[in-house]
C-alpha cells in the first residue's frame, strides 16, 4: 500500500513495514504491528485535517511511544480515509490507542504529595488547570 503526495509518502508493504517519508526532512520506519491507533481528525480552522498515528514500543530496555501527526490537505482527505480503512482491515490497527493511564482518568496530585514541585498553586495556575481539564474532557480528538 502506498500513498504518494508532493513531499510526503506513506507506505506499508506486505510484511507490515510502515514508512513515513517527508522527502526533504525526515523518515520514520516502524512495523504496522506497533501501530496502536490511527485516527483522521476533522478539519481545523486552517482547512487541514490531521492524521494521527500512535506507535508504541512496549518491550525492551527503553519502552516508548511515538506520535506521528501528518497534515492532510482537503483535496487528499478521501485518500487518507481510504488508506486508514485499509490499515484497519488488513492489519487490524484500531482507531484509538489503548492507554491504561488515560482510562483511569485525570487525578490531581495532592498539594502535600511528593510529586508537587511547589505548593500552593497560584490562582492563575488553578484557573489554567480548570480550563485545560475542561478542554481535555470535551476534546473528541
pLDDT, tens digit (0-9, with 9 covering 90-100), for 16-69: 999 999 999 999 999 999 999 999 998 888 888 999 999 998 887 888 889 999
> Which pTM value belongs to this model?
0.67
Q: Give me 135's grid cell.
A: 478542554
DSSP 8-state class, residue 6: T
Q: What's the rounded Cα separation, in Å, for the pair 56 and 37?
A: 9
Residues of the chain with pLDDT > 70: what percent?
80
pLDDT for 52 = 93
Residue 103 in this model has a pLDDT that exceeds 60: no
Amino acid at each position: 500500500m502506498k500513498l504518494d503526495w508532493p513531499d510526503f509518502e506513506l507506505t506499508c508493504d506486505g510484511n507490515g513495514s510502515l514508512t513515513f517519508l517527508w522527502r526533504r526532512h525526515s523518515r520514520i520506519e516502524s512495523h504496522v504491528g506497533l501501530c496502536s491507533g490511527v485516527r483522521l481528525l476533522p478539519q481545523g480552522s486552517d482547512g487541514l485535517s490531521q492524521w494521527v498515528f500512535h506507535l508504541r514500543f512496549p518491550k525492551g530496555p527503553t519502552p516508548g511511544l511515538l506520535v506521528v501527526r501528518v497534515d492532510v490537505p482537503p483535496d487528499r482527505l478521501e485518500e487518507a480515509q481510504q488508506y486508514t480503512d485499509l490499515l484497519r482491515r488488513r492489519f487490524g490497527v484500531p482507531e484509538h490507542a489503548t492507554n491504561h493511564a488515560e482510562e483511569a482518568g485525570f487525578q490531581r496530585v495532592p498539594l502535600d504529595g511528593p510529586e508537587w514541585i511547589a505548593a500552593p498553586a497560584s490562582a492563575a495556575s488553578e484557573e489554567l488547570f480548570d480550563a485545560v481539564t475542561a478542554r481535555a474532557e470535551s476534546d473528541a480528538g
